[in-house]
Amino acid sequence: MTFTRRAAIALIATAVMAPLPAMASAKIQKLVSPGGIEAWFVQDATVPLVAMEYSFDGGAAQDPADKPGVASMVAGLLDEGAGDLDSKNFRERLERRAIELSFNAARDHLRGSLRMLKDNREEAFDLLRMALTQPRFDAPDIERIRAQIMSGLRREISNPGSIAGKKFMEAAFGDHPYGRPSNGTLVTVPKIDLNDLRAYTKRILARDTLKIAVVGDIDAATLGSLLDKTFGGLQANAALTPVPDIVAAKPPQKFFIPLDVPQTNIVFGGPGIKRDDPKFMAAYVVNHILGGGGLSGRLYKEVREKRGLAYSVSESLLWMQHSAVFIGSTGTRADRATDTVDAIDAEIKRLATEGPTQQELDEAKSYLKGSQMLALDTSSKLAGALLQYQNDRLGIDYIEKRNAVVEAVTLEDTKAVAQRIWGQGALTVVVGRAPQAAVTPPVTATPPGPTAN
């Protein structure tokens, strides 16, 4: 590695992590390029770095029903060669200039990140342009990425957390696209071919669903020109398959999947609340009180501190375009799994019946308001948040309004939403050894049945 490249990598790493105290309060502009490409933009010259986050509607929910995993494979291949550059040369171009380019397939979006030093912006944006408009999908790269995905899927066969998480989504959503594993299965991934990859990118990569957030040392005119060069060649409109709205399966339900591993994993949850619901923030506050606050959450105190049933337990809200759930997880010994599930169920029931206390509400509000600045203290964090706000259809002034929205939540709001969301109890998946086998030495793991995929 040359000295110049080492210095560039060190500088971009420092720039990405450098705290920017004024970042969360920086002026957010809505930039429209000469060609009509829109972006949320914060100009900041604190460090010579530009961070961009972008997404296209679609994601894994647009996978063919019989081939889940297409979006995940596309995401793994888009930075593996484009135009006249094969994978080796494309990656060398990125590394030479310490350019960070990546893609990720979420349930509803195909997302990407681009980070570069200010002086390397022209080359960075051009490489992204090539990746989006001229992906190669060379056969050796397809097989290499397929092998990586398959290796991960094989590891998941003996991972109780992965099995429990997949079973939870399957139980919650059934045949709906959200019920299918985003990274595919050992059966479907080998069937994905070049035509599937090209068909997916042709349907998904389009300007009409494109969202962009840019933060860094670049002026509006230069950024507008680069956005046109990078995204202007994409087709105008995506061809998305309609995805229906769905309410997750009603609790309480319990599933047990036998797996001979030392620790039993428990995933629990139920229907949640969508981001555009007027009571979302009240639910967000209640969720923090229940299990989203780490060591201060009710579940942690009840399951870990009072009973010593598990090392940790957490719970969060998960919202998507067409549904939402609350979902939590923990791990424990097989002979304590039943007690752990009972303790979680009891605490959820108590929250739904009694609601939070005024003290809990005040403390949750204080934390959620104070943590806002810490969550947006770097250019990369802010760009990611701005992209998420766009995908959540929040206003460009949401950062300024957010703490007032938190403060407006009343105790009555929290009691009502606690009953609404957590009042039905939980859908629970337990993966591990049967309690009666807990004292038996581990043997070869028993693969889960088809329902665990």
Domain residue limits, the chain: 3-231, 253-452
In one-letter notation, the amino acid at residue 314 is: S
Q: Which residues of the chain have pLDDT under 50?
A: 1-22, 437-453
Q: Which two three-digit tokens encode residue 336?
A: 């304590």
- The CA distance from 82 to 84, in Å, is 6
Question: Which burial class, exposed, middle or buried, applies to 368 when counting CB atoms under 10 A from its CB (0-12, 13-18, 19+)?
Answer: buried
Select from 1.10.8.60, 3.30.830.10, 3.40.50.1950, 3.40.50.150 the CATH code of 3-231: 3.30.830.10
pLDDT score at 293? 66
Handedness of CA 19, 24, 25, 28 (dihedral sign): positive
pLDDT score at 436? 54
50 has which bridge partners?
A: 116, 216
61 has which bridge partners?
A: none
Q: What is the pTM of this model?
A: 0.88
- The CA distance from 113 to 387, in Å, is 11
Q: Which helix (H) or strand (E) holds 57?
A: strand 49-57
Q: Which two three-digit tokens encode residue 105?
A: 């397939």
pLDDT score at 5? 44
pLDDT score at 377? 84
pLDDT score at 442? 37
Same fold for the domain at 3-231 and the one at 253-452? yes
Please state which CATH class domain 253-452 belongs to.
Answer: alpha beta
Q: Which two three-digit tokens encode residue 128?
A: 């992204």
Q: Are 168 and 429 spatial neighbours (Cβ–Cβ below 8 Å)? A: yes
